Structure 1
C-alpha cells in the first residue's frame, strides 16, 4: 500500500492502534518528556501533539513515528509480523530488486498549497520543541536527513543532524 500523504499514513497507523493523539502539551520540554516516557513503553506509540501551548490548533508535532518495527514495515510496504532478522532479509531483497522510479515534474500539487516568500517567512510560526533542559534552543528537526553538495566540486554529503531554530529566518 502506498500513501498519498502523511494524513493517510496517520490514519493507517491509528487503525493499527499505534497512534496516540495528545492536546495541550507545552513546547518547552513537555513534548520532549512525554516522547521520552512513551519510548520506554513496550509498544511505544507514535505521538501526535496538537493545541500546543502558544500555537493555533492544527500546528502539530509528530514524534516516535518510526519507533516500532510495525510502523517501519507499514511505511516501507513490508509484511507485518516478521522477526527483526526476517525484516532485514526482506528489506535487503527489496533493496536489491528495487527499480528507481523517474521523477514526474508537475506545475502544481498539494506541496505547493502553502508557499511563503521573503518577509512572509517566519520559522517561529512552527511549534519547534525545546526537547531537553540542556538543549541550546528549539529544534524543528531532530532526525532530519540533510543532503549537501560541495559548491566547488561533485562531493555530496548525506547526514542526520538536529536543526535548531535560531530566529524567524535562520536555522
Structure 2
C-alpha cells in the first residue's frame, strides 16, 4: 500500500495551520498584533509567565526566537521589561497599558475567525477535534522529548479520561 502523502494527517494539519495563520495575521495586523504575539500576550495577561524563559516554554519555542520576538514587541510598545529583583540576569516582562487595552479585541477577532472556519461543525465535533489535536500535540511532545506546558498537560489529562 502506498498512501498518498498529501492525504496524511500531518500534511493536512500543516495546511490547516497555515490557513489559520494567514487568516489570523490579516485580521490581527490592524490591531497592531501578529499571530505569534498572542501566546505571549495571553500568558502575560493571565500571569502564567513573566520571564523570557517561561514565555518560551509556554509558547513552545526556543529562547533565541523568543528573545527576538520580545525585542520587537518591546520596540512596538507591547511589553515592558523590568529587572527581576530575585535574579539580576533576568527581567520581568509585563504588558503595556496599550497592549492590554487592545488584547480583548485581538482575542475576540481570533475567536470569531475560529467560529467562522468551524461554522459547519457541531459543538460535539469541535470538542472532539480539540481533544484529538491536544492528544496529537502531547504525542508529538512525548516523541520529541519536550515537556508540555502545564496548561496543555491539564487539558491532555482531561481529554484522555
More strand per residue: 1 or 2? 1
Give the greater-gyration-radius structure (CA): 1
User: Structure 1-normalised TM-score?
Assistant: 0.29
For normalisation by structure 2, the TM-score amounts to 0.30
